[in-house]
Amino acid sequence: MAGTRTFQPDRGDVRRFRRSNRLAYIVRELPASLERLAADLHCPADGRVLDYGCADVPYRDFFPASVEYLAADLPGNLDGTVEIQPDGTVPVADGTVDVVLSTQVLEHVADPALYLRECLRVLRTGGRMLLSTHGFMVYHPDPVDLWRWTCEGLEQAVMSAGFRIVRFEGMMGLPATGLQFLQDGLLPRVPSRARPIFIATMQTMIAAVDRREPAERRDQNALVFALVAEKPGAVRP
């Protein structure tokens, strides 16, 4: 999200659920978890939301139709209403946004610290950010793929930008992630005609294993981490 890069669709189509999707379980779980976390954003009905790296705006329905929704992305994204600048910043005034939404974006930006500072800059005092990004994950360019985080590393990055973390959760714990890696590693060796059945079987196993993973373990080691963080300085309801 820097230089002269332009928007490219995610050819892996990882947000669309279907049983033959190699990421079917997390594709189903991620939106549900994000929607639940969005309840902690306390976005007013007449508020302003910045979707910072909006792609095809999959989470617009988390917010009332009455909010002003700023969909920011790289040049070329027809769903975008705000163009991210070559240096990764956004042309949004300081302290004018109630909520920042950042879903599966941070791993793709050239300078995560700058990106997080921008999130803080545009938020009003007491405004909140909902962010999700990769813990463990195979290489996933869109258009580039640069970073992975531990739970502690992501918390440190967000707090170093000036945020206070309100909630922090992991999605798809270590045993399920191990099965995901096994599936992805074996997939090139599986005959093409057998791949849909192989993927559906593996994703069913992943779901069953992850349902048994304690939340506290998932919060430490996960395929995806998500958090709600606040710009300090005001009392929230």
Residue 179 within a domain: yes
Residue 12 within a domain: no
> Does the pLDDT of residue 13 top 80, yes or no?
no
pLDDT digits (tens, 9 = 90+) for 92-117: 999 999 999 999 999 999 999 999 99
Domain extent for 140: 24-230
Q: What is the pLDDT of residue 233?
A: 82
CATH number for the domain harbouring residue 159: 3.40.50.150
pLDDT digits (tens, 9 = 90+) for 30-69: 999 999 999 999 999 999 999 999 999 999 999 999 999 9
Residue 236 within a domain: no
Q: How confident is the model at residue 140 (pLDDT cuts 50, 70, 90)?
A: confident
Residue 102 within a domain: yes
Tell me what percent of the residues of the chain surpass a pLDDT of 70.
Answer: 90
Count: domains in the chain: 1
Q: How confident is the model at residue 18 (pLDDT cuts 50, 70, 90)?
A: low
Residue 45 within a domain: yes
Q: What is the pLDDT of residue 10?
A: 46
pLDDT digits (tens, 9 = 90+) for 65-92: 999 999 999 998 999 999 999 999 999 9
Residue 171 within a domain: yes
DSSP for the chain, written as a single string:
--TT------TT-TTS--TTSTTHHHHHHHHHHHHHHHGGG---TT-EEEEET-TT-TTGGGS-TTSEEEEEESTT-TT-SEEPPTTS--S--TT-EEEEEEES-GGG-S-HHHHHHHHHHHEEEEEEEEEEEESS-----SS-------HHHHHHHHHHTT-EEEEEEEEEEHHHHHHHHHHHHHGGGS-GGGHHHHHHHHHHHHHHHHHTS-HHHHTTSEEEEEEEEE-SSS---
> Does the pLDDT of residue 187 top 90, yes or no?
yes
Q: Is the pTM above the cut of 0.85?
A: yes
Residue 2 within a domain: no
Residue 135 within a domain: yes
